[in-house]
Protein backbone atom coordinates (compact mmCIF):
# COMPACT_ATOMS: atom_id res chain seq x y z
CA UNK A 1 0.00 0.00 0.00
CA UNK A 2 1.22 3.52 -0.80
CA UNK A 3 2.15 5.79 2.09
CA UNK A 4 1.79 9.49 2.77
CA UNK A 5 3.12 11.65 5.57
CA UNK A 6 0.35 13.79 7.04
CA UNK A 7 1.74 17.18 7.98
CA UNK A 8 0.10 17.69 11.36
CA UNK A 9 0.82 17.30 15.05
CA UNK A 10 -2.88 17.26 15.91
CA UNK A 11 -3.84 13.68 16.79
CA UNK A 12 -7.58 14.24 16.31
CA UNK A 13 -7.07 15.72 12.87
CA UNK A 14 -4.64 12.95 11.93
CA UNK A 15 -7.05 10.17 12.88
CA UNK A 16 -9.75 11.79 10.76
CA UNK A 17 -7.47 12.28 7.75
CA UNK A 18 -6.00 8.79 8.08
CA UNK A 19 -9.37 7.15 7.49
CA UNK A 20 -10.20 9.42 4.57
CA UNK A 21 -6.78 8.79 2.98
CA UNK A 22 -7.24 5.04 3.35
CA UNK A 23 -10.66 5.13 1.71
CA UNK A 24 -10.03 7.73 -1.01
CA UNK A 25 -6.33 7.37 -1.86
CA UNK A 26 -5.90 3.73 -0.81
CA UNK A 27 -2.82 4.81 1.14
CA UNK A 28 -1.44 4.41 4.63
CA UNK A 29 -0.84 7.56 6.68
CA UNK A 30 2.10 8.43 8.91
CA UNK A 31 1.76 11.35 11.31
CA UNK A 32 4.47 13.98 10.79
CA UNK A 33 5.49 14.00 14.44
CA UNK A 34 5.97 10.21 14.37
CA UNK A 35 8.47 10.49 11.51
CA UNK A 36 10.01 13.90 12.25
CA UNK A 37 10.28 14.05 16.02
CA UNK A 38 11.29 17.73 16.05
CA UNK A 39 8.36 18.80 13.83
CA UNK A 40 6.68 21.85 15.33
CA UNK A 41 4.46 23.01 12.48
CA UNK A 42 4.82 26.29 10.62
CA UNK A 43 3.86 29.92 11.08
CA UNK A 44 0.66 30.27 9.09
CA UNK A 45 -0.61 33.24 7.12
CA UNK A 46 -3.94 34.43 5.73
CA UNK A 47 -4.54 32.00 2.86
CA UNK A 48 -5.53 28.31 3.01
CA UNK A 49 -3.60 27.26 -0.08
CA UNK A 50 -0.42 29.12 0.89
CA UNK A 51 -0.57 27.58 4.35
CA UNK A 52 -1.11 24.05 3.02
CA UNK A 53 1.72 24.47 0.49
CA UNK A 54 4.08 25.67 3.23
CA UNK A 55 3.14 22.80 5.54
CA UNK A 56 3.85 20.31 2.74
CA UNK A 57 7.07 21.86 1.49
CA UNK A 58 8.88 22.03 4.85
CA UNK A 59 8.61 18.23 5.14
CA UNK A 60 8.62 17.07 1.52
CA UNK A 61 12.26 18.05 0.91
CA UNK A 62 13.27 15.68 3.73
CA UNK A 63 10.99 12.77 2.83
CA UNK A 64 10.99 10.02 0.23
CA UNK A 65 7.29 9.61 1.01
CA UNK A 66 4.86 12.19 -0.44
CA UNK A 67 3.56 14.68 2.10
CA UNK A 68 -0.13 15.46 2.49
CA UNK A 69 -0.86 18.81 4.08
CA UNK A 70 -4.12 20.65 4.51
CA UNK A 71 -5.27 23.95 5.87
CA UNK A 72 -8.83 24.35 6.98
CA UNK A 73 -11.00 26.81 8.79
CA UNK A 74 -14.45 27.83 9.89
CA UNK A 75 -15.96 30.76 8.02
CA UNK A 76 -18.96 32.63 9.45
CA UNK A 77 -20.45 35.22 7.06
CA UNK A 78 -21.98 37.39 9.79
CA UNK A 79 -18.50 37.74 11.30
CA UNK A 80 -16.97 38.74 7.97
CA UNK A 81 -15.99 35.11 7.25
CA UNK A 82 -13.91 35.02 10.44
CA UNK A 83 -12.14 33.17 11.94
CA UNK A 84 -11.23 31.67 8.51
CA UNK A 85 -7.54 30.75 8.08
CA UNK A 86 -7.00 31.95 11.65
CA UNK A 87 -9.40 29.35 13.09
CA UNK A 88 -6.71 27.37 14.90
CA UNK A 89 -5.24 30.55 16.36
CA UNK A 90 -8.43 32.24 17.55
CA UNK A 91 -7.91 33.55 21.08
CA UNK A 92 -4.14 33.17 20.95
CA UNK A 93 -1.71 30.27 21.06
CA UNK A 94 -2.79 29.14 24.53
CA UNK A 95 -6.53 29.05 23.76
CA UNK A 96 -8.17 25.62 24.02
CA UNK A 97 -10.97 24.37 21.76
CA UNK A 98 -13.34 25.23 24.62
CA UNK A 99 -11.99 28.79 24.69
CA UNK A 100 -12.42 29.19 20.93
CA UNK A 101 -15.97 27.87 21.00
CA UNK A 102 -16.82 30.22 23.86
CA UNK A 103 -15.46 33.17 21.88
CA UNK A 104 -17.55 32.30 18.81
CA UNK A 105 -20.74 31.81 20.82
CA UNK A 106 -20.17 35.11 22.62
CA UNK A 107 -19.63 36.98 19.34
CA UNK A 108 -22.82 35.42 17.92
CA UNK A 109 -24.96 35.75 21.02
CA UNK A 110 -27.56 37.92 19.26
CA UNK A 111 -26.89 36.87 15.65
CA UNK A 112 -29.91 35.85 13.58
CA UNK A 113 -27.87 34.73 10.56
CA UNK A 114 -25.93 31.74 11.83
CA UNK A 115 -24.79 30.32 8.50
CA UNK A 116 -21.28 28.87 8.48
CA UNK A 117 -19.00 26.73 6.37
CA UNK A 118 -15.95 24.60 6.88
CA UNK A 119 -13.26 25.12 4.21
CA UNK A 120 -10.30 22.88 3.37
CA UNK A 121 -7.45 23.07 0.87
CA UNK A 122 -5.25 19.97 0.63
CA UNK A 123 -1.86 19.57 -1.06
CA UNK A 124 0.07 16.38 -1.86
CA UNK A 125 3.75 17.06 -2.61
CA UNK A 126 6.74 14.87 -3.45
CA UNK A 127 10.37 15.46 -2.49
CA UNK A 128 11.04 17.36 -5.72
CA UNK A 129 8.37 19.92 -4.90
CA UNK A 130 5.82 18.69 -7.45
CA UNK A 131 2.30 18.84 -6.08
CA UNK A 132 -1.42 18.53 -6.70
CA UNK A 133 -4.12 20.27 -4.70
CA UNK A 134 -7.81 19.88 -3.90
CA UNK A 135 -10.49 22.06 -2.34
CA UNK A 136 -13.56 21.17 -0.30
CA UNK A 137 -16.31 22.91 1.62
CA UNK A 138 -19.33 21.90 3.69
CA UNK A 139 -22.21 24.20 4.65
CA UNK A 140 -23.71 24.33 8.11
CA UNK A 141 -25.05 26.50 10.90
CA UNK A 142 -23.53 27.67 14.18
CA UNK A 143 -25.54 26.11 16.99
CA UNK A 144 -26.52 28.26 19.98
CA UNK A 145 -24.86 25.82 22.34
CA UNK A 146 -22.33 23.04 22.03
CA UNK A 147 -23.57 19.49 21.53
CA UNK A 148 -21.67 16.24 21.22
CA UNK A 149 -18.35 14.93 22.48
CA UNK A 150 -16.86 13.54 19.27
CA UNK A 151 -14.65 15.24 16.72
CA UNK A 152 -12.47 18.22 17.63
CA UNK A 153 -12.12 21.95 17.12
CA UNK A 154 -15.42 23.69 16.38
CA UNK A 155 -17.33 20.45 15.73
CA UNK A 156 -19.58 20.80 18.84
CA UNK A 157 -21.13 24.01 17.45
CA UNK A 158 -21.06 23.16 13.73
CA UNK A 159 -24.60 21.96 13.07
CA UNK A 160 -25.04 20.00 9.82
CA UNK A 161 -28.70 20.34 8.76
CA UNK A 162 -28.70 17.35 6.40
CA UNK A 163 -27.89 15.08 9.36
CA UNK A 164 -29.85 17.04 11.96
CA UNK A 165 -26.91 17.11 14.36
CA UNK A 166 -23.55 18.76 15.01
CA UNK A 167 -20.34 17.27 13.67
CA UNK A 168 -19.46 16.38 17.28
CA UNK A 169 -22.63 14.26 17.54
CA UNK A 170 -21.76 12.27 14.41
CA UNK A 171 -19.83 9.02 14.43
CA UNK A 172 -16.50 9.29 12.60
CA UNK A 173 -17.58 7.40 9.44
CA UNK A 174 -20.70 9.57 9.14
CA UNK A 175 -18.76 12.82 9.50
CA UNK A 176 -15.91 11.66 7.25
CA UNK A 177 -18.36 10.90 4.46
CA UNK A 178 -19.46 14.54 4.17
CA UNK A 179 -16.63 16.61 5.64
CA UNK A 180 -14.68 19.39 3.96
CA UNK A 181 -11.50 17.32 4.32
CA UNK A 182 -13.15 14.38 2.54
CA UNK A 183 -14.20 16.63 -0.33
CA UNK A 184 -10.74 18.22 -0.59
CA UNK A 185 -9.00 14.84 -0.64
CA UNK A 186 -11.50 13.50 -3.19
CA UNK A 187 -10.70 16.50 -5.41
CA UNK A 188 -7.02 15.72 -4.84
CA UNK A 189 -7.59 12.14 -5.94
CA UNK A 190 -9.01 13.34 -9.25
CA UNK A 191 -5.93 15.49 -9.86
CA UNK A 192 -3.67 12.55 -8.97
CA UNK A 193 -5.31 10.46 -11.69
CA UNK A 194 -5.05 13.20 -14.31
CA UNK A 195 -1.32 13.79 -13.84
CA UNK A 196 -0.42 10.24 -12.76
CA UNK A 197 1.14 11.74 -9.63
CA UNK A 198 2.41 8.50 -8.09
CA UNK A 199 4.55 7.85 -11.17
CA UNK A 200 5.72 11.39 -11.97
Residues annotated as part of the active site: 71
Whether the Cβ atoms of residue 6 and residue 18 lie closer than 8 Å to each other: yes
Q: Helix 180-195 to helix 11-24 angle, to the nearest 10 degrees?
A: 40
Please list, in sequence order, all residues whose beta carbon lies within 8 angstroms of the beta carbon of residue 86, skipping any fewer than 6 positions away: 46, 73
Pair 53, 167: CB distance under 8 Å: no
Q: 52: exposed, middle or buried (C-beta count within 10 Å: 0-12, 13-18, 19+)?
A: buried
CB 14 within 8 A of CB 31: yes
CB 154 within 8 A of CB 73: no
Which among 27, 39, 59, 34 has a CA at the least distance from the CA of 185? 27
Amino acid sequence: MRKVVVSTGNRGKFEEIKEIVREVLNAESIMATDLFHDYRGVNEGDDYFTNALLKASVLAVHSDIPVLAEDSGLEIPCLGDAPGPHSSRLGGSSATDEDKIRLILEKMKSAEDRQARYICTAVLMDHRGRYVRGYGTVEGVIAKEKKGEKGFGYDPIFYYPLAGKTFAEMEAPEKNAVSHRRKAIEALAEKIKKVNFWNM
